[in-house]
Amino acid sequence: MRKLLKKLCGEQAGSVSIVVAVSMVVLIGISGFVLDTGVYYSKGAKLQNALDSAVLAASQELPADSVSSAAWAAAENEAINYASLNEFEITSDDLEPIYKNGSPANGIIGIRATKTVTVEYNFAKVLGVNSGTVTRTASAGLSPAGGVRGAIPLCVSDTGLSEAIASGIVRGLTIKCSSDTELIGIDPSTASGWFGAVRFEGSGASLYSELLANGYTGVLTVGQVLEMESGNMSGPTLDGFTERVSRCTDGCTAESYLPDCPRQVYVPVIQVLPSKQVKIVAFAAFFLEECGGSGKNSYIKATYLKNITLPDTAPGASGQDFGLYVSKLLG
Ligand SMILES: [Zn+2]
């Protein structure tokens, strides 16, 4: 009896150690699987971040006319650089253009990056699985700016600007008139005593002059209604214009200017409302050309700039397309 008991005990001890050993293997296997899964997802997340930042940076170079344009080449370079900064190597083969309305004839308004990378496993090697692959994709594209930071307190009529663009005459458009010049697309009788200035917050000629020189630090959005700022404000116009334009010391022109040139300005594109108000329907970029009228009857002429992408994105739903864009990640 004693012998039998001893035998049973011995067997039990043996089976316990087998159970422990098997459990250990299962446990290590499970932890290994969990660790490898973690590695897999972490690599996927890093790749996604890298591709997101790559396409966002690239879309700043857009729009582009075609894949053979300099703008597309610049966009590809930006994407490749930003992916590399995030430790992923991509090539132009991993990039594809997104066309406006899906047709190459309309030009490129976005970029998509797709990349597959290998993930080296650690524990799964025990099971004979050395590596796996993870694929991620990111797209960014342009949409008309719905909000703008840094606008100057002038504006342009939507019909006037549309007509100017359609006729191809976009140089030297009057965006602030004098008593003997007219704002483009605005019938002087609908807004007598108005010379083109608008209020953002606060009023008065000195604030107007300061905003003309430095831009509005707040955000304007499509749909917003602004009060007209009445009066010719000739001196303040010349002062603000001169202060702003004198900061450009590089001989910039509308055809060739530095990216941060103070002569490049953003203005609301508006519709005139009754009771001395205007409604913002979009935004456009202009290059300040001249402040004429010898300071006594000042007007400002500026050249319309198309295909400008804002360096930073302000909130706001897109309005009409007047060639000023923001870039966003898509879906
Ligand atoms: Zn300049």
pLDDT digits (tens, 9 = 90+) for 215-265: 999 999 999 999 999 999 999 999 999 999 999 999 999 999 998 999 999
**How close are the terminal C-alpha atoms of the chain, in Å?**
76
Q: How many CB atoms lie within 10 A of CB 28?
A: 12
How far, in Å, is the centroid of ligand 1 from the Cα of 62?
21
Q: Based on the domain organization, do 160 and 305 belong to the same domain?
A: yes
Q: Based on the domain organization, do 131 and 158 belong to the same domain?
A: no
Domain that holds residue 12: 2-141
DSSP 160-216: HHHHHHHHT--SSEEEE--TTS--TT--GGGSTTEEEEE-SSS-SHHHHHHHHHH--
Q: Rounded to whole angstroms, how far apart are CA atoms 330 and 138?
A: 8
Contact 172, 289 (CB under 8 A): yes
How far, in Å, is the centroid of ligand 1 from the Cα of 101?
34
Work out the pLDDT band at 3, boundaries 50, 70, 90.
Answer: low
The token pair at 102 is 């899906």
Instruction: Give percent of the chain with pLDDT exceeding 90.
Output: 70
Interhelix angle 70-85/2-59, nearest 10 degrees:
150
Q: Based on the domain organization, do 122 and 162 belong to the same domain?
A: no
End residue of a domain, out of 108, 141, 174: 141
Q: Based on the domain organization, do 117 and 168 belong to the same domain?
A: no
Q: Based on the domain organization, do 182 and 322 belong to the same domain?
A: yes
How far, in Å, is the centroid of ligand 1 from the Cα of 287?
10
What does the pLDDT average to over 28-34? 78
Q: Rounded to whole angstroms, how far apart are CA atoms 22 and 210?
A: 79
At residue 5, the pLDDT reads 55
Q: Based on the domain organization, do 160 and 239 belong to the same domain?
A: yes
User: Does pLDDT of 54 surpass 90?
Assistant: yes
At residue 122, the pLDDT reads 81
Q: Based on the domain organization, do 26 and 69 belong to the same domain?
A: yes
Q: What is the mean pLDDT of the chain?
A: 91
Instruction: Say if residue 219 is exposed, middle or buried (CB neighbours under 10 Å; 0-12, 13-18, 19+).
Output: middle
Cα–Cα separations (whole angstroms), residue 234 to 65, 176, 245, 299: 41, 10, 16, 8
pLDDT digits (tens, 9 = 90+) for 167-176: 999 999 999 9
End residue of a domain, out of 109, 141, 173: 141
Which H or E run includes 41?
helix 2-59
Burial 155-170, CB ≥16 within 10 A → b, else e: bbbbebbeebeeeeeb
Claim: this prediction has a pTM higher than 0.85: no
How far, in Å, is the centroid of ligand 1 from the Cα of 155?
21
How far, in Å, is the centroid of ligand 1 from the Cα of 148?
20
How far, in Å, is the centroid of ligand 1 from the Cα of 261?
4
How far, in Å, is the centroid of ligand 1 from the Cα of 319?
28
What does the pLDDT average to over 75-80? 98
How far, in Å, is the centroid of ligand 1 from the Cα of 41?
47
How far, in Å, is the centroid of ligand 1 from the Cα of 43?
43
How far, in Å, is the centroid of ligand 1 from the Cα of 326?
22
End residue of a domain, out of 110, 141, 172: 141
Q: Based on the domain organization, do 171 and 303 belong to the same domain?
A: yes
Number of folded domains that form the chain: 2
User: Does pLDDT of 25 surpass 80?
Assistant: no
How far, in Å, is the centroid of ligand 1 from the Cα of 246?
9
Q: Based on the domain organization, do 155 and 104 belong to the same domain?
A: no
Q: Based on the domain organization, do 63 and 134 belong to the same domain?
A: yes
Q: Based on the domain organization, do 293 and 155 belong to the same domain?
A: yes
Work out the pLDDT band at 37, boundaries 50, 70, 90.
Answer: confident
Q: Based on the domain organization, do 130 and 237 belong to the same domain?
A: no
